[in-house]
Structure 1
């Protein structure tokens, strides 16, 4: 299925800002790749990632929804803008994500947290 990135709303302090910037950097490298975004209202949208901003707002093109019967109003929609605060998960294509780089960055951040 790919790499699944958890996006949560947290209190903003130093480590959270660094975590968001790390996720933002990964998403920026995935422009023009197909991703699946699961929203907090259980709607899953698959589409081509066109842009993401520092608030993790996402713009998708050529979208499809996973459960068209529950969300028939989405059938006519081809492009969408998703506010970052309503995102639960983003499924990313594993072959386009440098997991070693992410693991190293996560370890560095964890080590910095221990030092504080």
Structure 2
């Protein structure tokens, strides 16, 4: 749940999504769900020479199961919020095992 909550904070931020098939797509996150399916607006393929057939698509829905990495600009990460959420998740896990 922590990952899903974190991605919700990235709405309207530009990210690069690297897929398992080596395609990298840059775009603005418009939605994300609990399965980490991502909807990107203003999307473009990073290497258009290698993937020219994808250059005409601007809005993309990316299934979470095909995502390898999501690269985000470090300036968009609220480190304090992420640390607090991680601490809460660890406390919940610890309380569940005790």
TM-score using structure 2 length: 0.84
Q: Which runs of 5+ in 1 are unaligned?
A: 1-20
In structure 1, C-alpha distance between the alignment counterparts of 2:3 and 2:34, rounded to whole Å: 9
Q: Root-mean-square deviation (CA), in Å?
A: 1.7
Q: Which runs of 5+ in 2 are unaligned?
A: none
1:2-23 deviation per Cα after TM superposition (whole angstroms, max 9, x unaligned) = xxxxxxxxxxxxxxxxxxx111
Q: Offset of 1:25 from its aligned partner?
A: 1.1
Name the TM-score, length of structure 1 as normaliser: 0.72
Q: In the alignment, which of 38, 41, 64 is matched to residue 58 of structure 1?
A: 38
For these two proteins, the number of residue pairs brought into alignment is 96
**Runs of 4+ in structure 1 over 6 Å off:** none
Please identify, of 73-82 and 93-102, the stretch whose mean Cα deviation from structure 2 is larger: 93-102
Q: Which has the higher contact order (CA 8 A, sep 6+)?
A: 1
